[in-house]
């Protein structure tokens, strides 16, 4: 009995460590997500039955893949026999068990990468890519994903079913893209991972500012990608996520109020994450071509390297924003650069840039643009302008803690503080 318990624990541990790998390989062998999922469940069920009698096999993963494959073939045969009783017999589809090939760590890791690229295929809708990746690559349940994205579970389940149907019907191949397609396809994967991270780091709506599990999942995905495919931008994204995540404990009060970077208790920042992130930035920057994620991570690393806000190297940050604007020009990057310029050269210099952006008609509905304008105006003593911009920012925010923060700033301006 005690032995059985121990085997159960072993199977659970192997499930946590290996179930995603087993699934990824079964999808390749069976060519279908649903059969592979069912086969994987069957394989773990068989392990619970057989391992107490026969002992845990030397290579559990290969055993599970092989068991899953046999279960699936059995199932297909049963269906076939059911479909056409009079069909001529003699199909010889029980393949030789090539356990060695399944156990080969390299081909197994390739399967995981195939799974990532298939789930993040650009022909799938963006929300379907996210849902499918969390479901198939991370192994989250549909209910967990639905909760994290504040989406009804049936809607989410439907999204996943449709995505799988599209993979089957449009024949989206289970493969790692060719080198020529890789940069674009990798972008899509990185976008999905960063979306998951941001959803967890700064929830776009709702009362809770952080939904921690999603950020942890995204970081786990980022690590997996860096292990499988050490491209500089994959390293850059992982670095960026780690450096942002390192500030989690410092960025909200116990009551859930937002604390801005300047006011954060830097002793709460996670040093291990900062060190790992900074090392990854260095690695990404040793490549000839530096991409947007690596540059953003470098900016975050400069912040992380300053013991106090006053010690921040704003000149370095402005320089990095210049590089970023060349790699990936956008009004949002211009806005962030303007804030850095304000820190380096004074509020008037930054405000000038922001007003140019808004004057062009860009970012007029972008809450951070108005919040930044309000902040700089208030530093310059232009209270009426500051109040107008905070009011505009307030109208645009959908997030509770942010709303409370802006209201507090508005009240301070009215009382004549600052």
- Per CB under 8 A, the list member of 1, 2, 171, 288 interacting with other proteins is 171
Nearer to other proteins, 177 or 277 (CB): 177
Q: Distance between CA atoms of 220 and 232, rounded to whole angstroms?
A: 17
Return the closest-CA partner of residue 393 out of 383, 384, 381, 405. 405
Residue 332: both structure tokens together: 């949002």
Cα dist from 223 to 23, 165, 279, whole Å: 19, 29, 14
**DSSP one-letter code for 366:** -
User: In the bound complex, what is the minimum distance in angstroms from residue 75's beta carbon to other proteins?
Assistant: 23
| Bridge partners, 399 (sequence order) | 206
- Per CB under 8 A, the list member of 170, 260, 261, 315 interacting with other proteins is 170
Contact between residue 221 and residue 119 where contact means Cβ atoms under 8 Å apart: no
User: In the bound complex, what is the minimum distance in angstroms from residue 161's beta carbon to other proteins?
Assistant: 18
Nearer to other proteins, 167 or 258 (CB): 167
CB-based burial label for 138 (10 Å; 0-12, 13-18, 19+)? buried
- Per CB under 8 A, the list member of 28, 65, 119, 177 interacting with other proteins is 177
Q: Distance between CA atoms of 100 and 287, rounded to whole angstroms?
A: 36
Asked whether position 123 contacts other proteins by CB under 8 A, the answer is: yes
Q: Distance between CA atoms of 377 and 386, rounded to whole angstroms?
A: 5
Contact between residue 23 and residue 68 where contact means Cβ atoms under 8 Å apart: no
- Per CB under 8 A, the list member of 49, 93, 169, 311 interacting with other proteins is 169
Nearer to other proteins, 29 or 335 (CB): 29
**DSSP one-letter code for 328:** S
Q: Which residue in the block uniquely carries the two structure tokens 């806005």?
A: 335
Asked whether position 172 contacts other proteins by CB under 8 A, the answer is: yes
Residues of this chain, 238-267, that bind other proteins according to CB under 8 A? none
Q: Distance between CA atoms of 178 and 171, rounded to whole angstroms?
A: 17
Q: Distance between CA atoms of 335 and 115, rounded to whole angstroms?
A: 37
Asked whether position 31 contacts other proteins by CB under 8 A, the answer is: no
User: In the bound complex, what is the minimum distance in angstroms from residue 102's beta carbon to other proteins?
Assistant: 23
Asked whether position 289 contacts other proteins by CB under 8 A, the answer is: no
User: In the bound complex, what is the minimum distance in angstroms from residue 201's beta carbon to other proteins?
Assistant: 32
Which of these segments, 168-176, 214-222, 268-276, 324-332, binds other proteins (CB under 8 A)?
168-176
Nearer to other proteins, 162 or 387 (CB): 162
Q: Count residues near other proteins (CB under 8 A).
A: 10
Nearer to other proteins, 168 or 212 (CB): 168
Nearer to other proteins, 3 or 179 (CB): 179
- Per CB under 8 A, the list member of 12, 141, 155, 175 interacting with other proteins is 175
User: In the bound complex, what is the minimum distance in angstroms from residue 173's beta carbon to other proteins?
Assistant: 4
- Show Cβ contacts of residue 135 under 8 Å, excluding neighbours closer than 6 positions: 141, 142, 145, 160
Residues binding other proteins (CB under 8 A): 121, 123, 169-173, 175, 177, 181
């Amino acid at each position: 009995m005690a032995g059985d318990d121990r085997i159960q624990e072993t199977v659970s541990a192997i499930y946590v460590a290996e179930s995603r790998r087993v699934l990824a390989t079964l999808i390749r062998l069976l060519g279908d997500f649903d059969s592979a999922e069912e086969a994987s469940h069957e394989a773990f069920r068989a392990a619970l039955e057989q391992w107490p009698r026969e002992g845990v096999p030397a290579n559990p993963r290969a055993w599970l893949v092989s068991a899953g494959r046999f279960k699936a073939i059995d199932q297909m045969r049963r269906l076939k026999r059911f479909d056409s009783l009079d069909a001529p017999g003699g199909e010889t589809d029980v393949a030789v068990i090539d356990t060695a090939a399944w156990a080969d760590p390299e081909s197994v890791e390739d399967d995981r990468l195939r799974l990532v690229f298939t789930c993040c295929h650009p022909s799938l809708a963006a929300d379907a890519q996210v849902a499918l990746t969390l479901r198939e690559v991370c192994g989250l349940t549909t209910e967990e994903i639905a909760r994290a994205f504040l989406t009804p579970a049936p809607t989410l389940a439907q999204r996943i079913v449709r995505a799988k149907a599209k993979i089957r019907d449009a024949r989206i191949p289970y493969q790692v893209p060719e080198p020529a397609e890789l940069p674009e396809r990798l972008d899509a994967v990185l976008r999905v991972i960063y979306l998951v991270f941001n959803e967890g780091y700064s929830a776009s709506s709702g009362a809770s500012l952080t939904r921690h599990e999603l950020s942890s999942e995204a970081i786990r995905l980022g690590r997996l990608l860096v292990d499988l495919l050490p491209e500089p931008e994959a390293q850059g994204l992982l670095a960026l996520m780690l450096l942002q995540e390192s500030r989690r404990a410092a960025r909200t009060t116990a009551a859930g109020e937002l604390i801005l970077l300047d006011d954060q208790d830097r002793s709460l920042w996670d040093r291990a994450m900062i060190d790992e992130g900074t090392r990854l930035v260095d690695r990404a920057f040793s490549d000839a071509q530096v991409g947007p994620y690596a540059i953003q991570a470098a900016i975050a690393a400069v912040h992380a390297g300053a013991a106090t806000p006053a010690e921040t190297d704003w000149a370095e940050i402005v320089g990095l924003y210049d590089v970023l604007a060349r790699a990936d020009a956008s009004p949002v990057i211009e806005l962030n650069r303007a804030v850095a310029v304000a820190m380096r050269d004074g509020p008037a210099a930054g405000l000038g840039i922001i007003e140019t952006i808004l004057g062009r008609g860009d970012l007029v509905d972008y809450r951070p643009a108005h919040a930044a304008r309000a902040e700089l105006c208030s530093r310059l003593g232009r209270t009426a302008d500051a109040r107008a911009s905070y009011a505009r920012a307030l109208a645009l925010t959908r997030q509770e803690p942010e709303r409370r923060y802006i209201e507090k700033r508005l009240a301070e301006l009215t009382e004549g503080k600052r």
